[in-house]
Amino acid sequence: MDKRLRNALIAVGTVSASAVGIGIALTRLTVDLAVKRDVRVQVPEKFQDKISGGLKTDPRVKKIEEASETAKQYETETVQIEVEDGLKLTGHIRECASPRRIIIAMHGWRSSWSMDFGVTADFYHDNGAIMLYADQRGQNDSDGEYIGFGILERYDCIKWLEFVRERYGDELPIYLLGVSMGASTVLMASGAELPDSVKGIIADCGFTSPKEIWNHILDNNLHLNGKLMFPLVNSVCKRVAQFDSDCYSTVDALSVNTKPVLFIHGSDDNFVPLKMTFENYLACNADKELLIVPGAGHGMSYITDPKAYEKAVADFFEKCEGKGFEA
């Protein structure tokens, strides 16, 4: 073989091997950022902001952070449950004087109950709700090394429902409430056979599936090839985090769900696209309501238009608890 040709082939092989190595490293980093509890790599804030579609630099985040700090001061009772895979999950119960309903609230990805529900805490409390704020697996005070993007958490939600029924019985109406990944969690849980005491579900800016949200973020926020990367990402996810991110979706669950759902989403959400709530809404065969808040970013519907949010939720409670839905 000609020496120059051989050297060229060696060079091509070296570059190809380097490219494969970089691809594997990028895939593993993507999975770690998505699902691993503790990410050892320091992620620059600019990159975090790109992932979230500009959420980190939205000026309204400061108000949410202030509400979160206020919510942490509320009197709550810390409770725990053990789920099927042996993890111990933590919840925070805020009682109210004259309860009319119970709400199980599931927060979002790499968030907390106070960050996602601090702005609405007083509204729900003043409207007679006993609140159970659950710490999602792999986050905050709950066990777990990995986040399941609703695939695993839907079962945790059912366990929290069992806990609430054992503690309070079935006399008060129960609602499932979620923001972002928490919304996807409660929507996926709706595919299970829920008891009669569950009167409705409130889903604020939920995605349809891990596959779809990962592809969206890779394509639109990070400008990578989601379709090309996803099979590799999912393969690593199955091996490392022990779940298939393409095995279930909110659309699957909603096709068999029988509980009324209030869908909420901001028109300017650059993290979870509005079209995903439209897809969820169309897939739902049960009674349903839809609130789109103009100008609201991800998880900011309440802080953008509290009156519209409060009216939609209050009307939803009234319909679920007796008034009924129009045909």
235 occurs within a structural domain:
no
Beta strand segments in the chain, E: 77-82, 88-94, 101-106, 129-134, 174-179, 198-204, 261-266, 288-293
CA distance linking residue 253 with residue 192, whole number of Å = 8
Query: What confidence score (pLDDT) does residue 52 get?
Result: 59
Query: So what's the pLDDT on residue 15?
Result: 39
Its pTM stands at: 0.89
Whether 274 maps to a domain, the answer reads yes
In a domain, 93, yes or no: yes
The number of helix segments (H) and strand segments (E) in the chain equals 13, 8
Residues 312 and 307: their CA atoms lie apart, in Å, by 9
Give a yes or no: residue 229 inside a domain.
Answer: no
Q: d(Cα 274, Cα 269) in Å, to the nearest integer?
A: 7
15: in domain: no
151 is a domain residue: yes
Q: Domain count for the chain, please give it.
A: 1
| Backbone phi, psi, residue 289, to 5° | -135, 155
Q: Between the CA of residue 306 and those of 119, 126, 262, 300, what are the distances in Å?
A: 9, 14, 16, 10
- pLDDT for the residue numbered 47: 55
Mean pLDDT by 10 residues, the chain (327 residues): 51 42 60 78 60 69 93 96 96 96 97 96 97 97 95 97 97 98 98 97 97 90 80 87 92 98 96 97 97 96 97 97 79
CATH of the domain at 132: 3.40.50.1820
The predicted structure's pLDDT at residue 51: 64
- Domain membership of residue 183 as a residue range: 36-209+248-322
Q: Residue 13 has what pLDDT?
A: 47
Residue 1 lies in a domain: no
Residue 13 lies in a domain: no
